[in-house]
Amino acid sequence: MAANIDPNSAVYATDEYGRPFIILREGQKKARVSGIDAIRSHILAAKTVSNIIKTSLGPRGLDKILISPDGDITVTNDGATILDQMEVEHQIAKLLVQLSKSQDDEIGDGTTGVVVLAGSLLEQCEQLLDRGIHPIRIADGFERACAVAVEHLDKISDTIEFDKQNVENLKKTAMTSLGSKIVSKCHEQFADIAVNAVLSVADLERKDVDFELIKVDGKVGGSLQDTLLVQGVVVDKDMSHPQMPREVKDAKLAILTCAFEPPRPKTKHKLDITSVEEYEKLQAYEKEKFQDMIQQVKDSGANLVICQWGFDDEANHLLLQNQLPAVRWVGGPEIELIAIATNGRIVPRFEDLTPEKLGSAGVVRELAFGTTKDRMLVIEDCANSRAVTVFVRGGNKMIIDEAKRSLHDAICAVRNLVRDNRVVYGGGAAEISCSLAVSKVADEISSIEQYAMRAFANALDATPLALAENSGLSPIETLASVKAEQATTGNPRLGVDCLYKNSNDMKEQHVYDPLISKRQQFLLATQLVKMILKIDDVIMSGPEQ
C-alpha cells in the first residue's frame, strides 16, 4: 500500500515488525504552499477583502455594521474604517488594510476605490497566471500600463479656478465626496462647512492647509442640520462655579498650566498641627497665597482664566468673589488650540503672567443643550481668526462619528484642490477613459507585456461596474454603453449615471475628483499588486510551537 506523504509535514518509520507508521512533526502539521500556488492563495485572500467593501462604493453604496470585541457598534461605508476595524488574519489581507490606510493618510479620500482597484487587478492576475505568463512579466506590464494611465489622467484633467470669494467649484468637489455618505441628505450644508473651514485656515500662496487649526467636535442631541461652523474654539467644559457669568465679552484670557494651590516643598514632607492656633495660621497662609495668585491674574488685565489643572473649593470661591470667571481641567490639546486661536501664551507660573501673554477673543460664552445640564464653552471672534471648529450634532453617537468621518473626507478633498487645483471626473469616467488609452497602447506593443496591459485596462473597468451595480443598474450593459460612447465621441467626462439624472456627462452633474487623489489610487494599487505577485512563499519566523 502506497501513500502520498509530504516530507515537509511528516516523517514515516517502521516498527520491529516492518509495519509503517507516520510521525507528524510538531508545528508543521500544515503543508507549506509555495510557488504559483502561493500566489494564487494570496490573490484569493485579497479578492475576498476587496469583495467585502466593493458594495460600499459610490453614492448608492451600502453601509457596513462593525461590532468590536467589546460590543461597540460602528455603522459606516468608509473603506479605511471598515478595513481598520475588521479582524483580518491573512498576511496579504493585512497588506490591503495598510493600502487603504496609506491612501487615507496621504489623500484622505478614495480609500474604498483603491482597494476595489487592487482587488480587480489581482483578479486579472489569476487569469494571466492560468495562461502561463510569469508573475514578473505581469508585474512589468502593470507598471507600464500604470504609467500610461497616470499620464492620460494629466491629459484629461481640467483646472478649476477658485479664490476665497468664488468657492463654487470647491463646494462641488466637497459635495461629490459627501454624496456617498450618511450626511447626503444635508450634504450641501456640510459641503459649505468643509469649504469654509479649509479656506479659513488655508495659505493659498503656499498652497498649504494646517489641519491642526481645524477641530471637529460633536455632541449627541439635535439633528445633522444643527451642525455649525464656529470661527473659534469649542471646548467641552463649563465655568467652574455655577454663579459665574455665562458670557464674557472682549475676553482677555490667562492661559495657565499651573495649579491654584499653595506652594509645597518638593521633597517628602510632614506637617504636624497640634493646636487651633496653628490650624488657623495655616488656613490664613493658604488664603493669602490664593489671594496673591488671583491678584497677579487681575493685575495682568485678564478677565477669564483657562486652567489646565483643577482648583479646590476655596480657590473657586475666591475667584467668584473677585469676579474672575474661570474654566478648569482643560486638556493639553485644547489648551494649545486656545492659545493658537487667541494669540495667547501658555503661562507655567503666576509670576510670569504679563498683559502681553494674554489671549484675546470677542466673546466667550457657554452653549447649553436641550433639557440636560450639558454645557460647552465657545470662544468666538478670536485674535487669530484662522482657527475654526466644526460642531456636529446628531441623534446618536454612531451618526455623529460617521458625520465626522464624512467631514474629514470632504475637508481632505477640498485640501487636495488647494494643493493642486486640477480635477478629473467621477462616476467611473476617468477609469473608462484611462482603460481605453491603455488598451490602445497595448495594441501597439509586440512583447508579452501587452497581455498584462490589457488586463490592467480590464481591471480599471471594475470601478464603473461596481458603481453601476450598487446603483441598481445593469452593470455590463451600462459599462458597454458608456465605453462605446466615450470611444466614439472622445469625451472623457462620460461616466455612470448613479443618481438617475438622465445624463452621463459628469461635468454637468458636477461630479469632481481631485487629480492627485485618482493618481494616488492608481499608483498605490499597482505597487501593492506588484509586491503580491513577487511573493511565492510564506515562512513563519520564530521557534516552532
Can you give the three-state secondary structure of 514-525, one letter per residue? EHHHHHHHHHHH
Asked whether the beta carbons of 530 and 143 are under 8 A apart, the reply is: yes
Structure confidence at residue 520 as a pLDDT band (50, 70, 90): very high
Residues in CB range of 384: below 8 A, 6 or more apart: 340, 341, 342, 343
Helices within 29-183 (DSSP H only): 36-54, 79-85, 91-106, 111-130, 135-156, 168-178
State whether CATH 1.10.560.10 applies to domain 36-159+425-533. Answer: yes
Structure confidence at residue 541 as a pLDDT band (50, 70, 90): low
Asked whether the beta carbons of 525 and 532 are under 8 A apart, the reply is: no
pLDDT tens per residue across span 343-368? 889 998 888 889 999 988 889 988 88
As a whole number, mean pLDDT of residues 174-186 equals 81
Is residue 248 over pLDDT 60? Answer: yes
- Residues with catalytic roles: 78, 111-112, 409
Domain ranges, ordered by start, for the chain: 1-31, 36-159+425-533, 232-384
pLDDT tens per residue across span 308-330? 888 877 788 888 888 889 998 89
Does 232-384 match 36-159+425-533 at the fold level?
A: no
Q: Residue 529's pLDDT is what?
A: 92
For 266-291, b/e burial (b = at least 16 CB within 10 A) is eeeeeeeeeeeeeeeeeeeeeeebbe
Q: Residue 117's pLDDT is what?
A: 93
Q: Residue 22's pLDDT is what?
A: 45
CA dist 429 to 57, 148, 295, 432, 443, Å?
A: 15, 16, 67, 5, 22
As a whole number, mean pLDDT of residues 230-252 equals 88
User: How much is the mean pLDDT over the chain?
Assistant: 84
State whether CATH 3.40.50.740 applies to domain 232-384. Answer: no
Is residue 458 over pLDDT 90? Answer: yes
Cell 476595489 belongs to: 116
pTM assigned to the model: 0.80
Asked whether the beta carbons of 442 and 146 are under 8 A apart, the reply is: no
pLDDT tens per residue across span 77-106? 888 888 888 877 788 888 888 888 898 888
Q: Residue 264's pLDDT is what?
A: 65
